[in-house]
């Protein structure tokens, strides 16, 4: 242990004596490690980190035109009620859309992402709130306009309060006060991996908060059957797989067409696993994202390999320059293992410094 401490001290003195070499070596290693850390963080968020919609029993529900199989549309509020009633297929169904809202914080107002969701949003995704409750059927009812909100966990972190302390507080959204009734759990990002809403609002306030960007010219009131603004997500009945559910979904499509032929003529419901990075009225896959992630990881690996090769060449050149020092150590009785251990210790110090610097660069 004493000899190891000596090796560390000598390595530190040597780095201080040759700051140019040490600095370049640390920068080269930091760039390689920093690039890999940044890319892995991105790939982890895109493809690896579990999200609420990642359960095998959670599926997106899509509305396809039988005459044009590649044509899909969103759902009206009445469609949500019809599909929710299919208990032979789904244990729970929720509808949602996104919007941009203005959030007032003191004298400043900023734009924030918010999700407009139905009463079954959190239960469908099997998510337990950190505090409070989700939305009630009355708050979900189109046009009810009850000013309540579920906030993200970041809200309590910024306020430096416990989630339970946020319940009952008010937050100003679009120049109106909303009462906080629930706090989402930490890390919850809804149905996508990268874009997390700051607020969840009930469908009852759609007419007041729906942004023109997401409304896309549709009517302001969800009570209008022509306003197909919602995307649907369902949780399959226990024991039912997506493959086994397909004929049941086909039967549900036929029932809906018979019940409301004007709205559902030549329409068919389709279920598919939700993509991690997109929000769409048509089924999407993560194949393209996975390919891009693999390419990014490969490129980052090449950068790290080049950094390591450059560092290895620098260490070899430095070893050549230290031949006299090593020969003198051997002549004075130093063992080969003792010299190798000294060199390994110096390399370890450079690696620790480079790794720390690389982490700081990403942070």
Please tell me whether residues 69 and 208 are part of one structural domain: yes
For residue 111, with 0-12 CB atoms within 10 Å meaning exposed, 13-18 middle and 19 or more buried, which class applies? exposed
* 283 assigned to some structural domain: no
Q: Which residues in the chain land under pLDDT 50?
A: none
Let me know: does 137 contact 119? Beta carbons within 8 Å. yes
Domain final residue, candidates 251, 275, 299 = 275
Please tell me whether residues 179 and 121 are part of one structural domain: yes
Question: pTM for this one?
Answer: 0.75
What's residue 253's pLDDT? 93
What's residue 168's pLDDT? 96
Residue of 327, 326, 356, 353 lying closest to 342 (CA atoms) = 326
Range of the domain at 39: 2-48+290-362
Please tell me whether residues 57 and 40 are part of one structural domain: no
β-pair partners for 183: 131, 151
User: In this predicted model, what pLDDT tens digit does every residue of 342-353 receive, in sequence order?
Assistant: 778 888 888 888
Pairing outcome for strands 90-105 and 108-117:
antiparallel
Look up residue 210 and give its two tokens: 């729906």
Q: How many domains does the chain have?
A: 2
What's residue 360's pLDDT? 65
How many C-beta neighbours within 10 Å does residue 97 have? 22
Q: State the DSSP code for 71.
A: -
Please tell me whether residues 330 and 271 are part of one structural domain: no
What's residue 279's pLDDT? 76
User: In this predicted model, what pLDDT tens digit does every residue of 49-77 receive, in sequence order?
Assistant: 666 666 778 999 999 999 898 899 999 99
Whole-number Å distance between alpha carbons of 88 and 189: 29
What's residue 104's pLDDT? 82
What's residue 48's pLDDT? 66
Let me know: does 97 contact 77? Beta carbons within 8 Å. no
Angle of helix 287-321 relative to helix 336-362, nearest 10 degrees, comes to: 140
Ramachandran angles phi, psi of 156, nearest 5°: -70, -30
């Amino acid at each position: 242990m004493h000899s190891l401490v000596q090796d560390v001290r000598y390595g530190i003195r040597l780095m201080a004596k040759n700051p140019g070499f040490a600095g370049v070596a640390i920068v080269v290693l930091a760039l390689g490690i920093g690039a890999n850390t940044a890319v892995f963080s991105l790939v982890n968020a895109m493809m690896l980190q579990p999200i609420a919609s990642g359960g095998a029993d959670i599926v997106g529900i899509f509305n396809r035109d039988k005459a044009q199989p590649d044509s899909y549309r969103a759902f009206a509020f009445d469609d949500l009620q019809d599909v929710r009633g299919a208990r032979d297929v789904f244990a729970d169904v929720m509808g949602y859309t996104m919007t941009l809202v203005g959030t007032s914080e003191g004298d400043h107002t900023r734009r924030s992402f918010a999700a407009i969701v139905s009463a079954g949003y959190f239960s469908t995704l099997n998510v337990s709130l950190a505090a409070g409750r989700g939305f009630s059927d009355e708050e979900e009812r189109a046009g009810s306009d009850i000013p309540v909100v579920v906030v993200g966990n970041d809200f309590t972190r910024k306020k430096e309060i416990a989630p339970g302390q946020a319940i009952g507080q008010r937050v100003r959204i679009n120049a109106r006060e909303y009462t906080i009734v629930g706090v989402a759990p930490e890390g919850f990002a809804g149905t996508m991996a990268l874009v997390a809403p700051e607020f969840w609002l009930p469908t009852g306030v759609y007419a007041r908060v729906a942004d023109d960007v997401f409304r896309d010219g549709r009517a302001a009131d969800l009570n209008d059957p022509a306003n197909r603004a919602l995307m649907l997500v369902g949780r399959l009945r226990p024991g039912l797989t997506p493959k086994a559910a397909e004929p049941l979904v086909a039967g549900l499509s036929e029932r809906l067409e018979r019940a409301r032929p004007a709205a559902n003529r030549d329409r068919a419901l389709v279920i598919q696993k939700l993509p991690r990075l997109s929000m769409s009225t048509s089924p999407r896959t993560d194949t393209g994202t996975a390919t891009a992630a693999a390419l990014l990881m490969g490129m980052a690996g090449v950068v790290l390999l080049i950094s390591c090769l450059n560092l290895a060449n620098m260490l070899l050149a430095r070893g050549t320059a230290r031949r006299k020092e090593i020969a003198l150590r051997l002549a004075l009785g130093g063992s080969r293992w003792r010299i190798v251990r000294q060199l390994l210790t110096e390399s370890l110090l450079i690696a620790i410094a480079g790794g720390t610097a690389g982490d700081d660069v990403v942070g």
